[in-house]
Amino acid sequence: MDGGGGLSTGGIYKLEGTIGQPDAGETLQGGLYDVQGGYWAFIDLVQTPNGPLLCIARGDAVSATLAWPVAGSTGYQLQDASSLIIPDWDDVPGAPTIVGDEYQVTLSPLVVKRYYRLHKP
């Protein structure tokens, strides 16, 4: 999807961007501020090295579905945290649903920033 872009200004600040362009997940930093590129305002995935691939699919305006393959996922638990600066990883309550060959968990409503990972103790 390619959606043009625009400029947003306020006081001494200016932000220019293009909506819908591919994003590599980079973070731009300067002084006390940082801007994270991507499409999800409230969810970030943290991939576990050598673990199952955790994916995200948009639902409606206030939901998203996390999914990962059943094969190779024995012993992994979906966890969430509110920060990566001082991680506070907790197991996501409830069991994921099996749909086809993957586990799925639907998150709703998306009202606070959360990070998700698959963890194998």
Q: Minimal CA–CA distance to 46: which of 120, 118, 121, 105?
A: 118
- pLDDT bucket at 1, cuts 50 / 70 / 90: very low
3-state per-residue secondary structure call for 60-95: CCCCEEEEEECCCCCCCEEEEECCCCCCCCEECCCC
Kindly report, as residue ranges, where domains of CATH 2.60.40 are found in the chain. Answer: 43-119
Q: What is the pTM of this model?
A: 0.63
How many CA atoms lie less than 13 Å away from 42 in the CB half-sphere?
A: 14
- pLDDT score for 78: 95
Q: Specify whether the CB–CB gap between 39 and 56 falls below 8 A.
A: no
Question: pLDDT tens for residues 55-102?
Answer: 988 877 778 899 999 999 999 999 999 888 888 999 999 899 999 999
Among the CATH numbers 1.10.3470, 2.60.40, 1.10.10, 3.20.20, which is that of 43-119?
Answer: 2.60.40
Question: pLDDT tens for residues 30-50?
Answer: 776 666 555 445 677 888 889
The one-letter amino acid at 5 = G
